[in-house]
Structure 1
Amino acid sequence: MPIRSHDTLERVRRIIPNAQLAKSRKGDFINAGAFSNRSDAERLTRQLRDRGFDARVEYIN
């Protein structure tokens, strides 16, 4: 998830306590977890989007 405000990580951690800040070429973002099963990642993404976050699944190999 892109960081939209100074409290984004705190708000995400209310739902996903292990969420971490991360960096990419596109900028800083919040990593809400790593999944071996894409459907699990999609399920979490839907939960976060339902709460107003700009969540998406990113494939990293």
Structure 2
Amino acid sequence: MNAFADISEIHKEKEITCPHCNNERSVCMASISSMRLGIVERLVYCSSENYDNCPIFLAKVLRGR
């Protein structure tokens, strides 16, 4: 595999997961307090294309930080 294909795969993965979720630590970096998320929230919002419906993500967007 060439370098361009590797970058494309990384970019594709970034588009389908929330950019603020740290799955290794179960922490949502979109929240002010970096709250820990349960497995249901991570599956429904963080690990899917549905992250833009997440209330924590939307609050982060509205705060503008």
Q: What is the TM-score with the length of structure 2 in the denominator?
A: 0.28
| Greater share of helix | 2
- TM-score normalised by L of structure 1: 0.29
Larger radius of gyration: 2
